Chains A and B, each alone.
Chain A
Amino acid sequence: MKSSVFFATLTATVALAAGMSAAATLDDVKARGELNCGVTTGLTGFSLPDANGNWTGFDVAVCRAVAAAVLGDGSKVKFVPTTGQTRFTALASGEIDVLARNSTWTFSRDVDLKFEWAGVNYYDGQGFLVRKDLGVSSAKELDGATVCIQTGTTTELNLADFFKANNITYQPVPAETNAEMEQKYASGACDAYTTDASGLAATRATLTDPDNHVILPEIISKEPLGPLVRHGDQQWGDIVRWTLNALIAAEEYGVTSANLEEMAANSTNPEVKRLLGTEGDLGAMLGLDAAWAKRAIAVGGNYGEIFARELGEGTPIGLARGLNAQWTQGGLLYSPPFR
C-alpha cells in the first residue's frame, strides 16, 4: 500500500519532468486553440479593456492579427496584462506567446535577455508632459523638477542620461503602472510626466482637462516599439514578424479590410497575390495555410486602418502619422518584399 503511493508519486514526478520538454510555440498555440498575448495593464489607444472586457487598441490589433493568421479567428486571444516589471518574465517563462506591449527594441533586451523583436509597429521617442500653468516651454527648463516615471523601462534610463547631459537635476517619483502614474501626475505629485510621446498623448487624452497640459517639444530618445517573442523558436518569430509585415504591406498596396475579397480575386499585382495567398506558397513556408495574411488583414484592417481607428487624428489621442507613415509617404514604415 505504502509503496504504491511512493511509486505513484515517482511516476507523477517523472511524467511532469517529461512534460516540461520544449515544444514548438506554434504547436502549443494550435493545441491550446488560443493565443496568449501580453499587453499593458491599460494604456488608452494601445491596449485597454472596455466596460465589457473587450480589449481594443493598437497593440491589441497585433495580437488579434496573429491569432487570426494562426488560429483563423481574431477573437481567440487571451490577453495577459503585464506591467513594465513583469512583462519580460512573463514572456521568458512561457506564460505568454507574444508580447505586444509598446516595448522598446534595445540591444541588451534583444541579445542579453534573449528576445526577438518581430519588427517595429510604432516609431516613438521619449517626451515630457507638463501642466501649461507651469510656464515651461522646454525640457531643459525642468531643473529641480519632480518627474513621474514608470519603473523598469528604458525611459527611466534615458531620463537619467538626459538630465545628466544637460547638467540639471530632478527628483524621480517611481510607480509601477501607467494608471498609478496618471493618478500621481493628475494630483500634482509630480511636475512632469515622462514616457514615450505616444503614451503621453494617450495619457493626456484621459485627463479631465487635456487642454491644460502640453507635451514639450524635446524628444530625448529613439523608442522603436514592437511585438516580441522568445529567442530560439525561429518559426514562431517568423510568423509574428510576417504577420506584422503583412499589415504594413497591405497598406502600401492598398489592400484594406473593405476591398480584401475583391483584391484577392481580381488583383493583377503578383506581390498582392502572394500576400493574399492566391499565388505561391508563402503560407506553407510559415507552417500555415495560404490565407493566413488575408485573415490577419481582415480582422482589423491594414496598418493604416488600425492606426486611424486607434491612435489617429480622428481619435481623442490625435497622433499624426509622422515617422509612422509608409516609406512611400516619407515615413519609416517599410515591409520587406513578399516573395
Chain B
Amino acid sequence: MAVITDVPKESFRLSMLIYDTRYRSLTIQVVVFFLVMAGAAWLVDNAYRNLQLLGKDFNFSFLWTRAGYDIPQVLIEYTNDSTHGRAMLIGLLNTLLVAFLGCLAATVLGIFVGVLRLSKNWLVGRLMTVYVEMFRNVPLLLWILLIYTVFIEATPGPNAYRTLPDGTPGMSMQLFDTIAVTNRYTAVPDPLFSRSLGEISLGLFNVSVDLLALIAALLLSFFANRALLANATRVQEATGDRPVTWWKSLLIWIVPVVAVLVALGFHLAYPRLQGFNFVDGINVSNSLMALWLALTLYTAAFIAEIVRAGIMAISKGQSEAAFALGLRPGRTMNLVILPQALRVIIPPLISQYLNLTKNSSLAIAVGYLDLRGTLGGITLNQTGRELECVLLMMLIYLIISLVISGVMNVYNASVKLKER
C-alpha cells in the first residue's frame, strides 16, 4: 500500500532571512537602505547641531538684502543697491551666456576636428591628433589661465591708443578704426536704434522690443524659407527638375531683417577713448573671452573624439555604397555618414555639454563673475551663509544640468534609429 506523504510545508524561520537565497537579497537591500538613510540622517543632524553650536541659523532671507558690491559684466540691469538674489541672477545669466557660447563653438569646432582627424591627408590628420591630445591631457584651469595671461600680457593698455601730450599719435584701432583690443577688454561698436521701440518690463528684467522685432523677422524668414524649399521639393517630385532656390532663399533671409533694421534706424556707436577707458561701444571683457576660448578648445577636443568614434562606428559599406551611387565625399559625409553617426554621437555629447556648463565655474580664476563668483563667492563671503549658498548653488547647477540633458534627450529621441 502506497503511502502518499505530503511534502511538509516549510514554516518561515527568522534565520531564513540570511541563509535562504530567496530572502537574502531582500534582507541585504533593506539593511543597506536603512544604513544609507541613517547615514543621511546623521549628516543632517550633525550639520544642524554644529550650526546650533555656532549659534547660526539656517535661512535664505539674505537673498533679499542689499548686495553692495559691483559686478563687471551684467546682462540685465544691476547696481550695488540690488539684492543678493539679483546678484545671483546676474551670475546665473553670466554662467548661461558662457555655457551657451561655449557649447555652440565647441560643437562646431569639435565636428570639424573630428572629421578632419580621419582625413586621408597625413599632415591634416596628425595636426588634429596633436590638437586633441594637447587639450585633452592638460587640465582646463591651466588653459584658462594661459589664455587669459596671453590676453592681458600681449595686448596694449587703453593708454596706448591715446595721443601723447607731445603730439605723438597713439595706436589706431583695428578693423578700420572700429575695434580696440586692450589688455582689459575688446571694445566693439554698440548697435543702436535711433527709432527704438523701447522695452517691455517682465518683472525681473526688461526685454528690448527692437530685439523682439528682429527675432520675429528671423522667424518669418525661417518659415518662408521652409515653405519655399517644400515647394521646390514638390515641384521636383512632380517634374523631376528642382527649381533654383538659392537666390530666393537669400532674399527671404536678408530682406525682412534689413527692412526691420532700416525701420528702426539702426546705427553703430563706435568706441572712443575718454578718460581712462573706452566708452560708447561694448567692452567685451578679456575674462569672458579667455574663459569662452578655453572652454571651447578644451571641450571641442573631447567632442572631436566623440565625432570620430561615431563616424568610425558606421560600416565602411555605407560610404562604399554612397560612392557607388556617385556621391562625392563631402555629400557622402553630410547625407549618409553623419546622420547615422548622430545616434552614436548624441548621448556622449550630452555629457560634454554638461561638463562644459559645470566647468564654467572655473571662471573665478580669471575674475569672470558667474554663478560661482557671485552667489558662491562674494555673496557667500559677505553674508557668511556658506551652507545656504552652496546648497542653492548645487540646486541651480543640478537644474541647469537636468534641463540640458532633458532637451538633448528629446533631440536624441528624434534622431535615433527608428525601429518598427
Contacts and interface: CB of A to CB of B under 8 A. Distances in A.
B54 A114 contact: yes
A187 interface: yes
Interface in B297-327: none
Contact of B55 (A3, A88, A151, A232): A232
B277 A13 contact: no
Interface string B76-94: 0000100000000000000
A144 B69 contact: no
Contacts of B55: 114, 231-232
B163 interface: no
A28 B418 CA distance: 66
Interface in B34-65: 35, 38-39, 42, 46, 49-50, 53-56
A318 interface: no
Q: Is the interface of A mostly helix, strand, loop or mixed?
A: mixed
Contacts of B279: 144
A171 B369 CA distance: 13
A49 interface: no
B380 A85 contact: yes
Given A173-B72, A189-B152, A17 B382 contact: no
Interface in A143-165: 143-146, 151-153, 156-157, 159-161, 164
Given A161-B68, A176-B364, A156 B378 contact: yes
Given A114-B55, A160-B70, A187-B152, A173 B184 contact: yes
Nearest to A87: B381
B153 A164 contact: no
Contacts of B383: 112
A306 interface: no
Closest 6 CB pairs of A and B: A152-B381, A113-B384, A144-B275, A160-B80, A188-B157, A145-B276
Given A146-B277, A160-B80, A173-B184, A92 B72 contact: no
Interface string B104-144: 00000000000000000000000000000000000000000
B216 to A, nearest CB: 34
B71 interface: yes
A258 interface: no
Contact of B377 (A151, A157, A190): A151
Interface in A1-51: 2-3, 6, 9-10, 13, 17, 20, 22
Interface string A192-203: 000000000000
9 contacts: A6-B31, A142-B276, A144-B279, A146-B184, A151-B377, A174-B367, A176-B365, A184-B152, A232-B53
A174 B72 contact: yes
B146 interface: no
B18 interface: yes
B4 to A, nearest CB: 40
B102 interface: no
A164 B46 CA distance: 44
A20 B46 contact: yes
A151 B369 CA distance: 10
A160 B46 contact: no
A259 interface: no
A156 B216 CA distance: 42
Contact of A187 (B159, B183, B381, B382): B183
Interface residues of A, number: 51
B281 interface: no
A109 interface: yes
Contacts of A174: 72, 367, 369, 373, 378
Given A143-B275, A164-B80, A232-B55, A152 B183 contact: no
B201 interface: no
A172 interface: yes
Contacts of B70: 156, 159-160, 170, 172
A171 B278 CA distance: 11
Contacts of A146: 184, 276-277
A152 B378 contact: yes
A88 B387 CA distance: 13
B80 A171 contact: no
B187 to A, nearest CB: 12
Given A153-B381, A189-B183, 6 more contacts: A2-B18, A112-B383, A151-B378, A164-B80, A173-B184, A184-B152
B382 A152 contact: yes
Contacts of B380: 85, 152
A259 to B, nearest CB: 43
A161 B152 CA distance: 28
A157 B68 CA distance: 6
A74 interface: no
Contact of A171 (B28, B72, B152, B274): B72
Given A144-B274, A144-B275, A190-B184, A88 B384 contact: yes
B386 interface: yes
A318 B228 CA distance: 77
A296 to B, nearest CB: 28
A191 interface: yes
